[in-house]
A and B are shown apart, each in its own frame.
Chain A
Amino acid sequence: MISLSYYLVGATLLFTIGLYCLIAKRNMIRLVMGIDILNNAANLSFIAFSSHAKSGFTEPLAHAIVIMSIAMGGCVIAIAMTLVLHAYRHYKTLDVRRLRRLKW
């Protein structure tokens, strides 16, 4: 098994990519993808810590938490996508900068 630093660097890169997506992109679907990437980065760091804390052992509590986190992430993305679909039907665009009017 490779050392923990590789996984932490990978998780940091994933987190940075997600953060960049959230800051720089305008498309709502791509923003939800950015949230997905951020969630995956957090999950990867959880599992990496649990597997590297003690050689040859792993901590199942972290696995249980990540399983719940994955299910929660799925819920969040599902709700976000339906909101995106409604916003698209209302405004006829996916560009967040054009959603100036918050009143439905």
Chain B
Amino acid sequence: MLAKAIQIFLLVMTCGFAILTVELPNLLYAAIALFGMSVSLGGLFWLLRAPYVAVFQLLVYAGAVVALFVVIIMLTVGGRVEEETRRMDKIGAAGIFISAIAASLALMVIQSWSFPLFGYTSYEINFVRALADTVGKKVSHLLWTDRALDLIAQAFLLLTAALACLALLRPEGSSTEERITSPLAEAEGLSENASGEGGGEK
């Protein structure tokens, strides 16, 4: 009974934090709400007997991604409240309308169709007992043996993303190439200096 109450509470918290993430005018507070949503979702994953997923959720989404959001917000607008007008415009109304239709359709599907849909419960071999230790061993075995190629590809993709981030986060005009080998920039600099000196004389 207590476990059910905790699961429902975490589900409500997740949706509540998601709404706060979208609607809070201050982006910094929105990032904090995103952190709350990720932590609640990590707790839900843990209660659903997915310990590895919960740990990844907390490490990646609640840790790295939220830290990245905070850094980017501080590099751009800081803690300022965004200028977006509070009145409902046409696009906002269309967004609510389309989202309501999508939610209604999904809820109708959930109510009218019985799950599981695909009948894959007949494959006994795919299922393991829902104990944290067993699931952990089986997931790590799956990842390292059956999905090794995916893992390697993912590692390369992560490395590429990290390098791309470093390249993109480089400050503007800091590369040595731009400073040394750009004659246009040098000429512009010289002409600016000349005009500045001329202006000073006048």
Contacts and interface: CB of A to CB of B under 8 A. Distances in A.
A61 to B, nearest CB: 6
B110 A5 contact: yes
Given A53-B120, A70-B61, A79 B22 contact: no
A102 interface: no
Nearest to A22: B95
A68 B154 contact: yes
A17 B135 contact: no
Contact of A14 (B15, B75, B94): B15
Interface string B25-50: 00100110010011001001101111
Contacts of B161: 74-75, 78-79
A53 B27 contact: no
Contact of B82 (A15, A40, A60, A94): A94
Nearest to B84: A26
Interface of B is mostly: helix
B179 interface: no
Interface in A4-62: 4-10, 12-27, 29-30, 32-34, 36-37, 40, 43-44, 47-54, 56-61
Interface of B: 3-4, 7-8, 11, 14-15, 18-19, 21-22, 27, 30-31, 34, 37-38, 41, 44-45, 47-50, 52-53, 56-57, 60-61, 64-65, 68-69, 72-73, 75-77, 82, 84, 91-92, 94-96, 98-100, 102-103, 106-107, 110-111, 115-116, 120-121, 126-130, 135, 138-139, 142-143, 147, 150-151, 154, 157-158, 161-162, 164-165, 168-169, 172
14 contacts: A2-B4, A12-B110, A22-B95, A23-B99, A25-B95, A44-B41, A52-B116, A53-B121, A57-B130, A59-B126, A60-B135, A67-B52, A67-B56, A68-B151
